[in-house]
Structures are given as structure tokens and as C-alpha cells.
Amino acid sequence: MSRQPAGVISPAVVGAVLVRPWLWVTAVVQMGRLARRGWWRRPPFLPLPAPDYMEFRLVTQYGGEAVRSGRRASAADVVDYLQWCRDWNRSAGRSR
């Protein structure tokens, strides 16, 4: 599990988030939370999640066979995830 899954940040995902400005802050926060340690020291010098973590998340969402056959997170799934994060953070803030 040492490779970076293709399409982690695909043009479709970027486009889907760009047209939803209410998710921009959430997307940046999640990138920071999920980025591997020391991401600035290793190419591609982007705050991407660790390849093992991404593979684990894709397997838990789509199943091992789907991921082995090249299945990647769809833009709609990423938008749903970001919306869930946004809603969760808002509800957690109210309960404090």
C-alpha cells in the first residue's frame, strides 16, 4: 500500500468544490487535517493524505475489489463528505 491512489484530487473533484464556495473553508481544513506529516518535504509538496490512509478509506467505502480495479472517489462522494464535515463541525460547535 505504498502508492498514492490516482485521482485523489482530480479535476472533477476540484471543479465540484470550486462551484460550492460554502465548502471552501471545510475543504482546506480537511486537507490540513488529513495531510501526512512533513508533506512540504516530499514531492509533490502538497498537503495530501498518506497513500495507505487513502487506500484504507477507499476500500472501506467501495470495497477492496472495486479499489483494486481502479475505483476512485467520485466528485459527488467528496462533496457529500465535505458537506457532512461542515454539518458535523457546526453541530459540534453548538453543543459546547
C-alpha cell at 30: 480537511
Q: Which residue has the cell 495507505?
A: 52
Residue 53 lies in a domain: yes
Helical (H) or strand (E) element with 27: helix 24-34
Residue whose C-alpha cell is 485521482: 7
Residues in the chain, total: 96
Q: What is the pLDDT of residue 4?
A: 44
Counting the structural domains of the chain, the total is 1
- Domain contains 57: yes
Q: Does residue 3 lie within any of the structural domains? A: no
Domain of 15, in residue numbers: 11-94
Output the tens digit of pLDDT for each of the chain's 96 residues: 444 444 467 899 999 999 999 999 999 999 999 999 999 999 989 898 888 888 898 899 888 888 888 888 889 999 999 999 999 988 877 654
pTM beyond 0.85, yes or no: no
Q: Is residue 1 part of a domain?
A: no
Residue 26, domain member (yes or no) = yes
- Predicted confidence at residue 7, as pLDDT, reads 46
